[in-house]
Structure 1
Amino acid sequence: MVKTRLFKNIASLGIIQLVNYVFPLITVPYVSRIIGPDGYGLINYATAFIAYFALLISYGFDLTATRKITLHSKEKENIDNIVSEVITSRLILFVISVFLFIISIYFFNPIQKDIYVPVILFIGCIATVISPQYIYQGFQDLQIFAKLNFIRGLVNTIFVFILVKKASDYYWIPTLTTIFFIGINLFLFILAKKKYKINYKLISLDKAYKVILAERMVFFSTVVISLYTSTNVVVLGFFANTREIGYYTTSQNFLNIISSLITIPISMSLYPFIGKGFSVSKEYGISLINRVVPIVFYITFLASISILIFAPWMIRLVYGHKFDNSIPVLQIISFLPFIIGMSNIFGIQIMLNLGLDKLFFKTTFIASVIGILLNIVMSKYYGYIGTAWNCLIVESFVTIIMYLALKREKIKIFVLDYFAPQEIIRTIKNRK
């Protein structure tokens, strides 16, 4: 049944996300009152833009390489090859990203308002090249992340209070983010190399090209997901000023804090765990999903209800009255933790673990096309409020079509008997 390691990994990742966002929550009330909505809008817009380059460099290897390592965790030579392929491929993609970024600086007007912020954040993409997340995920050994991220969060928080004293000090925020992001991933990569005795070797360009080509479906899926998520902010930048972007991204980032404390630990821990279940048999994997779905359902639904009710209090407590216009945005998107929690089960945990990469791509591609077109209209005529509604509509749409696609594949996800409280307790107690 649900193994002890799974719960340990979920707990560890919960701590990681808690540290990632609770430490910033300590600094946000202080920083937000200094740099205001305009400063936040500038930083958050640049962050959303640079996310595209990080996405290209990452190339979905945190999913595909994790899947490979999970299946070959006891075969050292295979592990060496997997890691070598990922690092070399990401180096190539980073070089491509450098050229694309230089071109974008000259032709993309919204990021020209303050060139330092996007440049320093782009340098942080080096951390994505060396990120060893897929290694630790594949071995289901994620506890080390909790300890190191606690240290990173603590040190970063101390430096924010020391360095950010006036509105013009906003540039320290992306600078510190980049420094610590690179530092922590470099340390984790060196540690993983020693711990798992990984021998890295630079592979040929031809082999790297074949790896990139082979994993393109999952990469395209991550791209189209980004097109209906982070593109919201980029499109809004063409129709709104930095203050309005600040109102939207403040609520979005606050919701990300809640979602990351809940959905990311569950998703990252479940992926290799469910993958092993499917490696036994399709039926066994589905039986694990049936048991896990009610737990995810209740946790994310209660979180969404709480956000909806307490949105005004949370925004004013953390950001102050300058951000009151962010309250309706947070209320509109309050049910995203629940919706995304379900779509993660349908897409990541089931489709990808079953090797239904093309089906996953098709469903997300349809959603992205609709999302981009709708986002342009909603952002142009209704501003940041329209962007919020677009986000909710598109996430709901993708969740629904994923469910219908799986139903068409005759995969039963919901077993109502398992939603009973006594069954959930039994699931948790039957850990092995």
Structure 2
Amino acid sequence: MGTFTLKIIKNYLYNTAYQLFAIIVPLITTPYITRTLGSTGVGVYAYTNSVIQYFVLFGSIGISMYGNRLIAFDRDNNEKLSEDFWSLVVIRTVTIVIAYVAFIVYLVFVGEYRNEYLYQSIQIVAVIFDISWLFMGLEDFKRTVLRSFIVKLFSTIAIFVFVRDPSSVGVYILILSVSTLLGNILLWSYIKSFVISPRGLTLTFNKHILGSLKLFVPQISMQVYLVLNKTMLGSIDGVKSAGFYENSDKIIKISLTVITAIVTVMMPRMANTFAKKKFDQLHNYLYQTLDFVSFASILLAAGLAAVAPTFSIWFMGESFSETGRLIPVLALIGPMIAWSTVLGSQFLVMTRREHQFTISVTVGAIINVLANILLIKNQGTMGAVIATVLAETCVTLIDLFFVSKAIPNFSGLSGKWKYILAGAMTFGIIRCINYKLPGTFVSLLFQGVICVIVYFAICVATSSSFTNTIIRTIKQRKATN
């Protein structure tokens, strides 16, 4: 932890504070939404949202990730930063307009859920105003976190006030879409401190279009196995199945946000460190981030998988009991996503190896599509879950291969077997307890506390690197006091 600077820790705390809030909000709204809209209503939302994300993706053309890295490179030159910022804003505005026209054409041929699609399409417009990549590249997470707090608070209050019964699916979609749009517009009030007026600046487009497209290809592939599952489930097995998958996936992804918050913070720092050719520091950042996400993601996966049978019913209601069967399998993607995010997004992309990142996510997308075709028809939602696990595992293995080639004597996953062993043992212990206790809040809280204690104790007993660092840090602080 020694190489993590005060600014990195501060940005991580800002990001983590928001991610914790982002976890608390669904903990409040999801039980209400699942019971109010039902499995069909949640399925309609998940299915229509999955389709809209394709238009959002094609309108964005990889600018968010490209812009984040570009600003990180430019941030010591205000004029160049401003030129690149305005160039990207113009490019994205044009591509989003094209994407929205394509959506209107699609809407003409849609036979059902037309209103829901129209409400979801506000998300396409919202992308024009999304400049969060500017602040991420500048490592100014305070402003994006403040914006996100306001948006989440607004949408949460609106959900409880206006979403009243199963017919409120459209209202629910409208609340989420409008809050996203307003949140993106809010960020523009801060740019005067960082960006100068476009008048007199030389804007360039061709090189930025090409640069964005290099990151657009992997984002297409990523979207395939992030969203296609719900689209295919809705088309093949019905919108209810899409709803079951959506909520199972949401539980895993929401929990992961606190862990991957460190990656969001580290991406611009990695890009800037790489630009300055401080390679030893770059590798230290990578190793420390990998160690943290390994410890945390395996604990998360073990805990969620163990309590899933009773947690799913307590949290979402009897109509979503199917998710209790899905979550234990889907929880396997927790460590995979944590590792691939660090290896791929944080290292490969930020060190200009996006072609290797593209290969990994493209292979993952192909495997996901083929597995979905083979499994969904016979296995339903579980087929989509298995396909996701296979895809995420392949992406992680390929990212690991490329990173090990890029770094001589790569040792990023050394000793991680200790976390896997601790996770497996913790899962077995907590699952036995879960079978014997009722599915109440107090019972689940008790199991969560025991889960953390058991996992941490096993990690200490096996002398894992993360727990050793924590213990060493505590001893050093006691010695200085």
TM-score by length of 1: 0.92
**Which letter does structure 2 place at the counterpart of 1:179?**
V
How has the CA–CA distance of structure 1 residues 415 and 181 changed in structure 2, closer, same or farther, with 3 Å as cutoff? closer
Question: Does the 8 Å CA contact 1:236/1:245 hold for their aligned counterparts?
Answer: yes
- Corresponding position of 1:274: 270
- The residue identity in structure 2 corresponding to 1:276 is N
> Aligned-pair distance for 1:88?
0.7
* Structure with higher RCO (Cα < 8 A, 6+ apart): 1
CA RMSD of aligned residues (A): 2.4
**Is 1:49–2:51 an aligned residue pair?**
yes
| 2:412 counterpart letter in structure 1 | F
Residue in 2 that maps onto 1:120: 119
Match of 1:145 in 2: 144
- 5+ residue gaps, structure 2, are 416-463, 477-481
Native 8 Å contact 2:162 2:171 kept in 1: yes
**C-alpha distance in 1 between matches for 2:186 and 2:123:** 15
Shift of 1:26: 1.1
Provide the rounded CA distance (Å) in 1 between the counterparts of 2:141 and 2:294: 24
Residues 426 and 219 of structure 1, relative CA distance in 2, 3 Å threshold: farther
1:15 corresponding residue in structure 2: 17
> What are the superposed Cα offsets for residues 342-377 of structure 1, whole Å, 9 maximum, x if unpaired?
001111111112211111112221221122111111
How far off is 1:283 after superposition?
Answer: 2.9
User: Match of 1:401, as an amino acid?
Assistant: I
Give, in angstroms, the shift of residue 63 of structure 1.
1.8
Aligned partners of 1:358, 1:429: CA distance in 2, in Å?
44
Aligned counterpart, 1:283: 280
Partner of 2:256: 259
1:399 counterpart letter in structure 2: T
Distance, in Å, in 2 between the alignment partners of 1:425 and 1:61 is 42
Q: Which residue, 65, 68, 73 being the options, matches 1:71? A: 73
Alignment partner, residue 409 of structure 1: 406
Which shifted more, 415-424 or 120-129?
415-424
- In structure 2, do the counterparts of structure 1 residues 60 and 424 end up closer, same or farther at CA, with 3 Å as the change threshold? farther
Task: Confirm or deny that 1:354 pairs with 2:334.
Answer: no
Report how many aligned residue pairs link the two structures. 425
Deviation, 1:219, is 0.9
- After TM superposition, the structure 1 = structure 2 runs for residues 339-378 of structure 1, keeping only pairs within 5 Å, are 339-378=336-375
Larger radius of gyration: 2
Q: Which residue of 2 aligns with 1:308?
A: 305
- Shift of residue 226, structure 1, vs aligned partner: 1.1
Secondary structure at 2:351 match in 1: coil
The answer for the alignment partner of 2:454 in structure 1 is none
Corresponding position of 2:172: 173
The answer on whether the counterparts of 1:8 and 1:143 sit within 8 Å (CA) in structure 2 is: no
Q: Percent identity?
A: 21
Q: Residue 13 of structure 1 contacts residue 146 of structure 1 at CA under 8 Å; is this kept in 2?
A: yes
Residue pair 1:14, 1:261 contacting (<8 A) in 2 also: yes
Query: 1:338 maps to which residue?
Result: 335
Residues 201 and 348 of structure 1, relative CA distance in 2, 3 Å threshold = farther
Distance in 1 between the 2:334 and 2:13 partners?
Answer: 18
1:163 aligns with 2:195: no
User: Does the Cα contact within 8 Å between 2:163 and 2:171 map onto a contact in 1?
Assistant: yes
Q: CA deviation at 1:407?
A: 2.2
CA deviations 1:121-146 (Å, max 9, x no partner) are 11222221111211111111101233
TM-score, normalised to structure 2, is 0.83
**Residue 428 to residue 407, structure 1, CA distance change in 2 (3 Å):** farther
Pairwise mapping of residues 197-208 of structure 1 onto structure 2 (< 5 A)?
Answer: 197-200=195-198, 207-208=204-205
